[in-house]
Amino acid sequence: MSLLKTIDTNPSFAPRESGSLPERLISGNPAFKTWAQDAARGEMIRTGVWEATPGETRSIKGETFEFCHILSGIVELTPEGGEPVAYKAGDSFVMKPGFVGVWKTIETVRKIYVIVT
């Protein structure tokens, strides 16, 4: 197994498809696709590509740390009690453990993610 992993931003394999949990849905009917590409340390670190169609959901990170790099689309994140922040293609951000807020997909978004639990 190689210790160097390239993240394929346009994977040719089928994604895992899902929707918003009903208790987290705020508006719209967002659909999610996940192309998991690598895991390490007993699945505690996961990487891949994720895509969402427009809609608004509640984001609750719990103990999870997530780094995101936006490949395409536009999202707006509003931390609980904070101001909205927009991210577009080329932007990167981190949602730290304990983050709670609103994830609003304005234009279908595709991102690279690195999740550490």
- Confidence at 2, pLDDT banded by 50, 70, 90: confident
Dump pLDDT digits (tens) for 15-48.
999 999 999 999 999 999 999 999 999 999 999 9
Dump pLDDT digits (tens) for 57-82.
999 999 999 999 999 999 999 999 99
Number of Cβ within 10 Å of residue 74's Cβ equals 17
Q: What percent of the chain has pLDDT over 70?
A: 99
What's the whole-number mean pLDDT along residues 100-106? 98
Distance CA 77, CA 96 (A): 13
| Model pLDDT, residue 36 | 97
* Residue corresponding to tokens 């895509």: 51
Q: List Cα–Cα distances, 43 to 29, 40, 47, 92, in angstroms.
A: 29, 5, 10, 23
Number of Cβ within 10 Å of residue 18's Cβ equals 12
User: In the predicted model, is pLDDT for residue 1 greater than 90?
Assistant: no
| Model pLDDT, residue 94 | 98
* Residue corresponding to tokens 């895991």: 39
Cβ pair 19, 29 in contact under 8 A: yes
